[in-house]
Chain A
Amino acid sequence: MSNVPSDLKYAKSHEWVRVSGDTAVVGITDHAQAELTDIVFVELPALGRRVKAGEACAVVESVKTASDIYAPVSGEITELNTTVAANPALANTEPYAGGWFFKMKLSQPGELTALLSPEDYKKQIGG
């Protein structure tokens, strides 16, 4: 059974968002990492890039395939997790902690209400 922490918001495309003030931390969910397995490469967006909600902005590669990661909300990329880029397996082992991908400054905080609650995300993944 996948871990879906109750203090996060979720995108249908399996990213999680942890909001504090006008900053959001983004990563991929436990369900996503379990589906991908064997994560061998994480390509992060450029620092300072402005992205729109739903825009592909990172890539995670498992042994088998490359998968796009989408910005759950709009904003500017303000910090990258260089540790997960150096050690991609962290996205498998600690998807909600050391395996986070990037931080962003929200430009449309209202978009947060469109994200899934933990309960709704659990329903989506059949958990």
Chain B
Amino acid sequence: MLKRTALYSAHQKIGGKLIEFGGWEMPVQYTSITDEHLAVRKAAGIFDISHMGEVTVSGAGAEAFLNSVLTNDVCKLAAGEGQYTLMCNERGGVIDDLYAYKLSDGVYFLIINASRIDPDVAWLQSQASRFSGDLDLTDASHNYAAIAVQGPRVKEFINTVIPGASSSAMRVAAVTDLKKNQIGGFKFGTSGILVSRTGYTGEDGFEIVGSDDAIQRLWDQCLTLGQPFGLKPAGLGARDTLRTEVCYPLYGHELDESTTPIEAGVGFFVSLDKGEFNGRAVLAEQKARGVKKKCVAFKMTDKSAPPRPHYPIWANGAPVGEVVSGTQSPSLNLGIGMGYVPPEWAAPGTIIEIEIRGKRAPAVVVSKPIYRKI
């Protein structure tokens, strides 16, 4: 039985086409992936992200614990700030990628992938059982629904949806005073909600976490007040094309338990100098000596079918790797993707080929992100 979010009937009402994703019944599109994608690039889009998981970690030992299980350095966070980070096993393989927020001293809020809630929580609990400090760890996923409101025009209406100043975490006079990666607690009617200036699209925008009831009302309010600014509901299809254009990894594609953050190209979020943490030895060695495979971005150079996950990548007449994400880019109107290749084929400008249904089509390795705002 697939799980349904608090917005399930809202999606049905506006004709969302529902598919299975990570055990959830989620809208893949409402009208067209291309239209929804371009609305987010040019104006605004609203996504249901209630399937994502939330974990609270608190106590005097919370900071030290998180720094022992996550790759980024949580000590760098002030109250009301968040960071992208990864959770690795002892081999440096990625258990999940996530956002860690510091709400106040000793109180942290993690947002994790829907498909990884069970393995993440099991891993965190096993790590916590070996940790001696004061620690409370709670899977709060079932308490929360969430939306992402993304696009260059969101800042023009979001303060009318959520009026007033924050009352916890980052203290600001208005939602739009939050800076990138900051999070604030706001009141929406009588409900408390968390609003962060983050997203998964490469555009300015906000992610909002709250009770089912608050998120249902927020969804309706955003659609009403955002509509004059071009806001459209957007599904997982557009979410995937948007994140692929800006080369954000998706768990199960760029990341898995046998791939390290260094190989995936997110070594920037691995803080080797913060002290010991899970996977550190392997990651330090890879940073110093290099890796055997690298996640590269590529563009098709001729008109071809779009690249898709698992298509073979060829270089110099031999298969050298595999596509992990691939689609037609609605912004660039050509096939784009990411894949793993040995480092000798990873430099931008390298000519490669993508095997599509038995035929090879030319492509070129490009620097990340594939799409850049002009």
Contact = CB atoms under 8 A, between A and B. Distances in A.
Interface residues of A, number: 12
Contact of B305 (A37, A38, A61): A61
A40 interface: yes
B357 A43 contact: yes
B201 interface: no
A59 interface: yes
B357 A38 contact: no
B33 interface: yes
* Interface residue tally on B, bucketed by range: 10 to 19
Contacts of B28: 64
B144 to A, nearest CB: 28
Interface string B287-324: 00000000000000000111010000000000000000
A114 B234 CA distance: 40
Most buried by A among B28, B34, B305, B357: B305
Interface in B226-262: 237, 241
Interface in B19-38: 28-29, 31-34, 37
> Which 8 residue pairs spanning A and B have beta carbons closest together?
A40-B328, A63-B33, A41-B305, A38-B34, A37-B32, A63-B328, A64-B237, A61-B305
B26 to A, nearest CB: 13
B330 interface: yes
B305 A63 contact: no
Nearest to B304: A41
A63 B357 contact: no
Given A38-B34, A43-B357, A63 B308 contact: no
B286 interface: no
Contact of A43 (B31, B32, B37, B305): B305
Nearest to B330: A63
Contacts of A47: none
Given A38-B34, A62-B33, 15 more contacts: A37-B29, A37-B31, A38-B33, A38-B330, A41-B304, A41-B305, A43-B357, A61-B305, A63-B241, A63-B327, A63-B328, A64-B28, A64-B29, A64-B237, A65-B308
B328 A37 contact: no
Contacts of A125: none
25 contacts: A37-B29, A37-B31, A37-B33, A38-B33, A38-B34, A38-B328, A38-B330, A40-B306, A41-B305, A41-B306, A41-B328, A43-B305, A43-B357, A59-B305, A61-B306, A62-B33, A63-B33, A63-B34, A63-B306, A64-B28, A64-B29, A64-B33, A64-B327, A66-B305, A66-B308
Contacts of A64: 28-29, 33, 237, 327
